[in-house]
Amino acid sequence: MSTKPTAATAAHWTVAIPNRDLLSALGPLPAGIRAVTWDFDGEPDGARLDEIDAVVLPYPDVAGMLPSLAKLKNLKLVQTQTTGVDGIAAAVGPDVAIASAAGVHAASTAELAVGLMLASLRGIDVAARDQLEGRWRHERRLSLADRKVLLVGVGGIGREIARRLEPFEVQLTRVGTHARDDSEGHVHGTEELQELAASHEVVVVITPLTEATRGLIDAAVLAALPDGALVVNVARGPVVDTDALTAEVVSGRLSCALDVTDPEPLLPDHPLWRAANALITPHLGGDSTAFEPRIVQLLKEQLAAVAVGKAPRNLVQPGRFGIGPT
């Protein structure tokens, strides 16, 4: 965290919090911080719109509320409760700082990713459906052990997924934006995805959604996967080409386990809902009992920082702070 005071961090900040429960959990507030509640409709409770310096976005759905940020003429900082910051920069412009909740969701999302792999490979989803019909069907299924796993995304959540996979005895290959070596070994670049796909049986997607990653797992990458391979997406739906994935899954050649989709949710008549080899969860990744205490702790640290003229953590757009990510 930067310790350099900046012109953007005034002695007094008025911060809009999305609900009273969260506001209560954040108390007592540091000196120099005034917090009010705002539901993104009408005036904040206890302040005028032009008095708001910072806003904490609600969780998890924010897309419909982003246009309301244009009403905040003196906005300096947007703090998300999500790891992703999709659409926020376009809504507020380059002069407003944007901080994510990176790290808060890492444990929950990583454990769901492993859970989806296990459930799909071992047929737990099939057994759950069979149970409703009183059907006993013994089959030999794939183990997670000995699978060749391609992990696309090596950020905070990617690191936690990799760490949780260690005791499962997988053969792990990591892919990042560009090829490099780090303390854990080699990271391949995204330009190698199609070649790597041909030799891997599980693909786990946990890369942020950007213009560079939209459609990253495309028809060519999916076609390169071997028959019977599993695609797990715990990132954002548009990182995977939905039409191409649907064609592969409905044909029976590939399986998928998705916590995110494009569109989200899928329309009721979408063929993936009825595909026997598709497992879909309703964007549960970061939303577990681990979320609330971790987001409260992060927000307390962010408020304490700006109250004394420091830059908050997890800046993905520095805005008027004039510094790089921290």
| pLDDT for the residue 322 | 60
The answer to whether the predicted template modeling score (pTM) of the entire model surpasses 0.85 is yes
The pLDDT score that the predictor gives to residue 60 is: 84
Sites in the chain below the pLDDT cut of 70 = 1-11, 322-326
φ/ψ region of 153 (left if φ > 0, alpha if ψ in -120 to 50, else beta) reads left
Nearest CA-CA partner of 120 in 197, 239, 234: 234
Cα torsion angle, 287, 197, 149, 177, sign = negative
Q: How far is 193 from 262, CA to CA, in rounded Å?
A: 21
Question: Tens digit of pLDDT for each residue in 153-169?
Answer: 999 999 999 999 999 99
Say if residues 14 and 55 touch (Cβ distance below 8 Å): no
